Chain A
Amino acid sequence: MNILNELIKATLETVYMTFFSGFLSVIFGIPLGIILYLTSISQLKISKVIYRIFDVIINIFRSIPFIILIVLVIPLTKLIVGTIIGPKSAIVSLTIAAIPFMARLSESTFKSLPKEMIDTAHTLGMNNFEFIAKILIPETLPKIVANITLLLINLVTYTAIAGAVGAGGLGAMAINYGYQRFRLDILMYDLIILILITQIIQFVGMKIEKIIDIK
């Protein structure tokens, strides 16, 4: 009974970490992707400089292994959350790892928009905001949903890694019971729940994608 309670608690923690950091990554990652995209298609010199700067920063963050990133952002985590233990603190490092990932995914998705659509926006006299709101986002929405699905599934895995260094959740439980106390049964339960979470995210993501994609 105790174990069951713990499993439920760990599951909730994992879901909480995944979705909270997922939400933050979308909020920051997609606009960053839009900036990358707009500066990459612009002919202005200043745009090229801005693109270069973001490009380098994103590459740096994406090349840091997640487990090391957690350690690197400890001061920031302490500043924001006040502690470095628990699901809440894990969200900081998860979000910082996921934003560049989301930005890159968004950038490449936006680049799939036919160049002629940009011409169309110009000939209709659209400004940047109108272009983003009326063409860029709506036209790529099914792909954006697929990106978010991918992001969330990656975050589930990342929460397990974060669990190894005190984040809690299913990852922590797997290490505590399975690795340190040889409770293979609990490790199995843990794994089944992780697989279920992943399957559900994938299923719901694809369903939404199908509904909004008009073919």
Chain B
Amino acid sequence: MLEVKNLNLTYDGKNYVLKDISFKLEKGEILGIIGLSGAGKSSLLKALNLLEKPQGEILFNNIDLTQLSRKELRKFRKKIGVAFQHYNLLSRKTVFENISLPLILNKENEIEKKVSNVIKKVGLEHRKNAFPAHLSGGEKQRVSIARAIVSNPDILFLDEPTSALDPKTTEKILELILKINQDMKISTIIVTHEMDVIKRICDKILYLKNGKVHYFGEVYRFFSEFEKELNEEFYRDINYNYGKLKLKNGKIIKVIFYGESVGKPVLNKISKKYDITFNILYGKIEDLKNAPFGKLILEIEGEKTNEFINDLKEHVYALEVLRL
């Protein structure tokens, strides 16, 4: 569907803003692009949009967008919908007129019907004659998304769609994005700096750092592998050094559950089997898009701790010994 190969972007021929970016997006997938400010997220989105001219290949249904002429590209843009962080709505046009703009530009017919359908989909029937200045942030983002999907694009780019919204509105917008993704089977790329957005709706994640791909792949794998780094960079939590705890002299282990193992009493069963007592130091469960994701930090004591650890490893997603 969309394949990016060795994408580079420089502003003056020397300083790389993006370096050697490669990734692939299948039809209907949601990809989250995450990174700190200055990591190159916006530049990447601009490059994918061809608002900046990058080197490398952007294959969209096997057509290299970087090789198209300005005119060809203009036609091609109908297949790409973009919603911006600051909405970028026309201030003197109503909700309805704003959403109909792409259709008018494409000279499509049945505009009235198509726009009404989309307005319904984003839940703005009651606001269709309102002007952007009279809408809330969430409503403006709905209009922006509606405008992006009205011409039935194959791919949807969302630039920080929830960054300016409160948590409750964010949740509603994320629900909408998921619904659109499922209804229209539209491939979506969402740029964000909010981990919760990634967790909630993304299938894959592209983690950018200093203009390079630091990680690209499944979301759950990312959260178990990059946990420490994430805590440092995104949550500003202090990574607690469990090793220095002097409660008892037990071993301290970290267990990660993902998918099926979350719903089973694995720990209880196996600990009984080896006669292990455990003390929970930390526990957390989160919803990723496809399955829950849990984390436990335990202090364990008993005769057969090694056997316990080996057995438990088989039944959970990941296990790490923090202190022997």
Report yes or no: A141 in contact with B92, Cβ–Cβ below 8 A.
yes
A48 CB, min distance to chain B CBs, angstroms? 17
Report yes or no: B101 in contact with A134, Cβ–Cβ below 8 A.
yes
Report yes or no: B74 in contact with A123, Cβ–Cβ below 8 A.
no
Complex CA gap A127/B71 in Å reads: 9
Answer whether residue A181 sits at the interface, using C-beta atoms and an 8 A cutoff. Answer: no
Report yes or no: A119 in contact with B84, Cβ–Cβ below 8 A.
yes
The interface size bin for chain A is 20 to 34
Closest 4 A-B residue pairs measured CB to CB? A125-B77, A123-B82, A120-B88, A125-B74
Chain A window 201-215, contacts with chain B (Cβ cutoff 8 Å), 1 for yes, 0 for no: 000000000001011
**Given A214-B133, A215-B133: A126 and B105 interface contact (C-beta under 8 Å):** yes
**Given A123-B49, A141-B92: A116 and B86 interface contact (C-beta under 8 Å):** yes
B79 nearest in chain A by CB position = A125
Q: Chain B residues near A139 (CB, 8 Å)?
A: 90-92
Complex CA gap A127/B72 in Å reads: 12
A120 nearest in chain B by CB position = B88
Given A116-B88, A122-B77, 14 new contacts (CB under 8 A)? A114-B86, A116-B86, A117-B88, A119-B51, A122-B51, A124-B77, A124-B101, A125-B76, A130-B105, A134-B90, A138-B92, A139-B90, A214-B92, A214-B131
A43 nearest in chain B by CB position = B53
**Given A114-B86, A119-B84, A214-B131: A138 and B49 interface contact (C-beta under 8 Å):** no
* Main secondary structure on A side of the interface with B: helix
**Given A116-B84, A116-B86: A124 and B105 interface contact (C-beta under 8 Å):** yes
Chain B window 64-86, contacts with chain A (Cβ cutoff 8 Å), 1 for yes, 0 for no: 00000000001111101010101
- Which residue in A123, A138, A212 is a CB contact (below 8 Å) of B77? A123
Q: Chain A residues near B88 (CB, 8 Å)?
A: 114, 116-117, 119-120
Answer whether residue B93 sits at the interface, using C-beta atoms and an 8 A cutoff. Answer: yes
Complex CA gap A120/B46 in Å reads: 11
Q: Chain B residues near A123 (CB, 8 Å)?
A: 49, 51, 77, 80, 82
Chain B window 85-112, contacts with chain A (Cβ cutoff 8 Å), 1 for yes, 0 for no: 0101011110000000110011000000
A120, A134, A141: most-surrounded residue (chain B CB, <10 A): A120
Answer whether residue A146 sits at the interface, using C-beta atoms and an 8 A cutoff. Answer: no
A93 CB, min distance to chain B CBs, angstroms? 36
B25 CB, min distance to chain A CBs, angstroms? 18
A214 nearest in chain B by CB position = B131
Q: Chain A residues near B86 (CB, 8 Å)?
A: 114, 116
B94 nearest in chain A by CB position = A214
A116 nearest in chain B by CB position = B88
Answer whether residue A135 sits at the interface, using C-beta atoms and an 8 A cutoff. Answer: yes
A56 CB, min distance to chain B CBs, angstroms? 27
Complex CA gap A212/B88 in Å reads: 19
Chain A window 138-176, contacts with chain B (Cβ cutoff 8 Å), 1 for yes, 0 for no: 110100000000000000000000000000000000000
A209 CB, min distance to chain B CBs, angstroms? 12
B131 nearest in chain A by CB position = A214
Complex CA gap A214/B46 in Å reads: 30
The interface size bin for chain B is 20 to 34
A123 nearest in chain B by CB position = B82
A/B interface sample: 10 pairs, CB < 8 A: A119-B84, A119-B88, A123-B49, A124-B105, A125-B106, A130-B105, A134-B90, A135-B90, A212-B92, A214-B92
Q: Chain B residues near A114 (CB, 8 Å)?
A: 86, 88
B80 nearest in chain A by CB position = A123
Report yes or no: A124 in contact with B84, Cβ–Cβ below 8 A.
no
**Given A116-B86, A120-B88, A123-B82: A138 and B93 interface contact (C-beta under 8 Å):** yes
Q: Chain B residues near A134 (CB, 8 Å)?
A: 90, 101, 105
Q: Chain A residues near B101 (CB, 8 Å)?
A: 124, 134
Complex CA gap A214/B133 in Å reads: 7
Chain B window 47-61, contacts with chain A (Cβ cutoff 8 Å), 1 for yes, 0 for no: 001010000000000
**Given A116-B84, A116-B86: A125 and B78 interface contact (C-beta under 8 Å):** yes
Report yes or no: B84 in contact with A214, Cβ–Cβ below 8 A.
no
Q: Chain A residues near B51 (CB, 8 Å)?
A: 119, 122-123
Complex CA gap A138/B105 in Å reads: 16
Q: Chain B residues near A117 (CB, 8 Å)?
A: 88
Interface hits, A92-128 → B, CB 8 Å: 114, 116-117, 119-120, 122-127
Complex CA gap A134/B92 in Å reads: 10
B194 CB, min distance to chain A CBs, angstroms? 20
A215 nearest in chain B by CB position = B133
Q: Chain B residues near A119 (CB, 8 Å)?
A: 46, 49, 51, 84, 88
Q: Chain B residues near A215 (CB, 8 Å)?
A: 133
B49, B84, B91, B131: most-surrounded residue (chain A CB, <10 A): B91
Complex CA gap A139/B133 in Å reads: 13
Complex CA gap A139/B90 in Å reads: 7
Complex CA gap A113/B90 in Å reads: 11
